[in-house]
Amino acid sequence: MLNASSNNFSGFIPDDLGNELALQCLDFRGNFFEGPKPKSLNKLEKLKFLGLSGNNLTGEIPRELGHLASLEIMILGYNEFKGGNPTEFGNLTNLKYLDLAEGNLGGGIPPELGQLSQLHTLYLYSNNLDGTIPQEIGNLTALQFLDLSDNLFSGEIPGTTGNLCNLQLVNLMCNRLSGSIPSKFGWVDAASSPRALE
């Protein structure tokens, strides 16, 4: 484990961290690191926790992160990442928590994210994501917290959200969604219960 969170570290993340092949937890949240994420971190095949949020990291989110099959928690939000959500994240079948909030990400939600059967938290709020919310979101049956607010999503809420029977929080505010709310939202009757959308 390497935890250097909530400090005033700056500069670039050391590239040779990728040589610590036994590392399972890397937490650099809440610092002033800048530049792109070192490519060498993609060698940390035993990594379960990756926390880089709250820095000044730039560039695109590396697709190679999708090869870290042991990852359970990935927190990359509150940086300056741009580009899209890598489709390779659909390979992270052990992932339970994904936070890419507060950045400059564009494009849509890759349908491949629907393969993350253990995912219970998905935070994508405050980006520039657009397009429709994919039907595959309904495959995330373990999902409890879904926040897609402050983006540019359009179209209707997929009817497959009725499969999300474990939902506790859904935030879709400040988008361009239209149509009607599905009659069942997480197995709750949206017409009769205020808990269907929070």
Domains annotated for the chain, with CATH where assigned, are 2-196 (3.80.10.10)
Residue 192: pLDDT over 80: no
Q: What pLDDT does 186 receive?
A: 54
**Residue 148 pLDDT class (50, 70, 90 cuts):** very high
**124 phi/psi in degrees, rounded to 5:** -125, 15
Share of the chain above pLDDT 70, in %: 93
Q: What pLDDT does 194 receive?
A: 43
Please check whether residue 114 is in contact with residue 92, taking contact to mean a CB–CB distance below 8 angstroms.
no
**Residue 26 pLDDT class (50, 70, 90 cuts):** very high
Q: Which of 34, 43, 27, 31 is nearest to 13 (CA)?
A: 34
DSSP 54: S
Instruction: Give the chain's largest Cα–Cα span.
Output: 56
* pLDDT, tens digit, 9 for 90 and up, residues 165-191: 999 999 999 999 999 888 776 555 444
The residue type found at 104 is: N
Residue 65: pLDDT over 60: yes
DSSP 29: -
C-alpha–C-alpha distance, residues 94 and 80, integer Å: 26
